[in-house]
Amino acid sequence: MEYSLQQQNDDYIMDLEDKVLNLKRRIREMKMSMAGELPNGRKEPKLNIPVQRVPTHSDVDKLKAKLLGRK
């Protein structure tokens, strides 16, 4: 009986150690993905796409007047 309790305790400790290692690995991978690095140390390429300005209503009216030949 004492052996089975000791074995259960050892299994529980090993299970906790595995969970901690798995959690640490997942945290490290998440930090790397947020930083843009791949697990093998390479960096993920990033695209720098400029945000375009959306025309306002007055711009549309000016364009419409120009196309229709009005000033």
Structural tokens at position 3: 């052996």
pLDDT in tens, the chain (71 residues): 455 777 777 777 778 888 899 999 999 888 877 777 666 667 767 778 888 777 667 777 888 888 888 65
> Residue 24: what pLDDT?
93
CB 49 within 8 A of CB 42: no
Whether this prediction's pTM lies above 0.75 is answered by no
